[in-house]
Amino acid sequence: MQTIGLIGGMSWESTAVYYRLLNEGVRRRLGGLHSAKVLLHSVDFALIAELQRAGDWPAAGDVLAAAARGLERAGADFVLICTNTMHRVAEQVQAAVSIPLLHIVPPAATAIRAAGLSRVALLGTAFTMQQPFLREQLAAEGLQVVVPGADDQALIHRVIFDQLCRGQIRDQSRADYLAVLDRLRDCGAEGAILGCTEIGLLIGPQHTDLPLFDTTGLHVNAALELALGDG
């Protein structure tokens, strides 16, 4: 089993889900008392969020690159950035280490194509929805991406930072997100990418019949395949 390096803390609410799913996945595959070999560097999200707001992505990338180098020195065989938004600096992080960075987009794209879909909505932080770093990669994977309108983007972003990253799960916010999904369906979306690692804390397949692709779980599955030699 390879050692998985996690760059987390953005937010720790979803990083905890990564850790749980990795261990559940190893136990399911190997049985007994097996658990995942994991190294975690958890950053102070307040600093990263401030750099995001300031648009200082190179400085934010420096923080994650330093974390990746530390994980490599500690023995990680590959690393994951446990957040969609910070894949904005994925190339900077990969350039800092000699071990692979397992990107969050390919597992999602593979799952979407396997479901026979080609036009999907993207929910995430305002940075993820407005900037091209994920949309362009999804397009390169042959997918058409639909993003919410400006008001819905503001709502989604606010709920992520003001509630989900703080451990607050509210029924009204779930209803608001589901209403956004309905509007995206009306715009031709065949499914939706939960393109923020916290969104799966709020909505899931039990809440809508629109196919959902949770990047957190898909990222974890890809990590398990690599760590256990399945992919």
d(CA 231, CA 128) in angstroms, rounded, equals 28
105-215: CATH number: 3.40.50.1860
Measured from the Cβ of residue 111, the count of other Cβ atoms closer than 10 Å reads 20
Task: Please tell me the predicted confidence (pLDDT) of residue 5.
Answer: 98
- What is the amino acid identity at position 112? I
Sign of the dihedral defined by the CA atoms of residues 135, 65, 52, 203, in that order: positive
CATH 3.40.50.1860 range(s) for the chain read: 4-103+218-227, 105-215
> Is the pLDDT confidence value at 2 over 70?
yes
pLDDT at 146: 96
Whole-structure pTM value: 0.95
Q: How many residues does the chain have?
A: 231
Question: Which residues on adjacent β-strands are paired with residue 122?
Answer: 193
Q: List the structure tokens of 73.
A: 């020195």
Q: How many angstroms separate the Cα of 190 from the Cα of each of 130, 135, 149, 162, 202? A: 20, 16, 17, 29, 20
Active site residues: 83, 196
Q: Which residues contact 10 (CB under 8 A, 6 or more apart)?
A: 43, 45, 48, 82, 83, 85, 86
The pLDDT mean for the chain works out to 97
**Is pLDDT above 90 for 231?**
no
Q: What is the pLDDT of residues 94-150, one digit of tens each?
A: 999 999 999 999 999 999 999 999 999 999 999 999 999 999 999 999 999 999 999
Q: Quote the CA–CA distance of 65 and 63 in Å, as a whole number.
A: 6
Which residue in the block uniquely carries the two structure tokens 């990263």?
48
Give the pLDDT confidence of 62-106 residue by residue, as tens digits: 999 999 999 999 999 999 999 999 999 999 999 999 999 999 999
SS3 149: coil
Residue 32: per-residue pLDDT: 96
CATH placement of domain 4-103+218-227: 3.40.50.1860
- Residue 230 is predicted with a pLDDT of 64
